[in-house]
């Protein structure tokens, strides 16, 4: 299943709850860490040709794995962490933390994405879902995306919309992000302001996976959830946060099943009250394709 020449770390029967920010998920048959982009490409090609199920995960901050685990190979991009800055462009690999990218750019006097400060994901995940916050989106800043396509690394056209991109179902390996030249201290000051806003309004000290639902057009998901009385609602070890209505907290012993039941309950309550159908922002991995 794993190529004999694979150089990266391989964990067998590894609990995915150890690798997701919400702290749920059963065991993966294999959890592997490719050493670089070439090894990631070779691994994906091998798994595709052998018919083995696989899934690529960044920091695990926006994903729910089944309690039954994952029969196949989960690929972690942690070692894809190269970054090269040329003028106002940053070529960055998928495994780099988004926060690290923003900080490195800021040190060089490059800004324009300050509102994304504190998003706890990888660059690959941010590019795939067109991550955004406080009126900022990464999409307008993406100038090139390198993905695994038909056994090769190919530069893909990048189109985006709210929490959507044209590479959403692809393996993102590397991207080029365009920043704006600004005064370094001003950038760092704004980043700190956004970081403090998150601390005041979000349960950052709890196990969560970030926003549960996308914002419906013209509405805020957290407002709809608040109006429907969801904060504090609990199923098993999962609870809608009292600090931010669009977050679900693992209170200590939550299962993915608890979280999904809570998500479905919220969708029902909001629909009954408003007629609006909420759509999940979190990626829910099914037991089988």
Catalytic residue numbers read 163, 211, 281
HEC per residue, 105-141? HHHCCEECCHHHCCCCCEHHHHHHHCCEECCEECHHH
If you count them, how many residues does the chain have? 289
Residue 125 neighbours by CB distance under 10 Å: 25
Looking up tokens 């307008």 gives 140
Rounded CA-CA distance 166/215 in Å is 19
H-state helical runs in the chain: 37-50, 98-107, 123-129, 184-201, 221-227, 256-274
Rounded CA-CA distance 227/137 in Å is 27
**Strands 142-149 vs 136-137: parallel, antiparallel or unpaired:** unpaired
Read off the tokens for 6.
């694979």
């Amino acid at each position: 299943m794993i190529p004999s020449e694979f150089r990266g770390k391989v964990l067998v029967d590894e609990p995915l709850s150890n690798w997701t920010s919400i702290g749920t998920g059963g065991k993966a048959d294999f959890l592997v860490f490719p050493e670089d982009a070439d090894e990631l490409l070779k691994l994906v090609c091998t798994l595709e040709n052998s018919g083995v199920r696989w899934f690529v995960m960044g920091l695990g901050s926006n994903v729910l794995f089944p309690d039954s685990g994952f029969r196949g190979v989960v690929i972690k991009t942690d070692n894809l962490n190269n970054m090269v800055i040329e003028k106002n462009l940053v070529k960055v690999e998928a495994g780099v933390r988004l926060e690290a990218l923003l900080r490195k750019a800021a040190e060089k006097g490059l800004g324009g994405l300050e509102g994304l400060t504190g998003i706890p994901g990888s660059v690959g995940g941010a590019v795939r879902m067109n991550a955004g916050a406080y009126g900022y989106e990464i999409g307008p800043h993406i100038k090139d995306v390198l993905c695994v396509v038909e056994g090769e690394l190919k530069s893909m056209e990048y189109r985006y919309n709210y929490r959507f991109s044209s590479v959403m179902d692809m393996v993102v390996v590397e991207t080029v992000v365009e920043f704006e030249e600004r005064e370094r201290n001003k950038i760092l000051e704004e980043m700190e302001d956004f970081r403090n806003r998150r601390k005041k309004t979000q349960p950052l000290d709890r196990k969560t996976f970030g926003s549960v639902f996308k914002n419906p057009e013209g509405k805020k998901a957290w407002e709809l959830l608040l109006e429907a009385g969801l904060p504090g609602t609990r199923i098993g070890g999962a609870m809608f946060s009292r600090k931010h209505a669009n977050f679900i907290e693992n209170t200590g012993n939550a299962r993915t099943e608890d979280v999904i039941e809570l998500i479905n309950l919220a969708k029902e309550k909001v629909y009954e009250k408003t007629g609006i159908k909420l759509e999940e922002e979190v990626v829910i991995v099914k037991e089988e394709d």
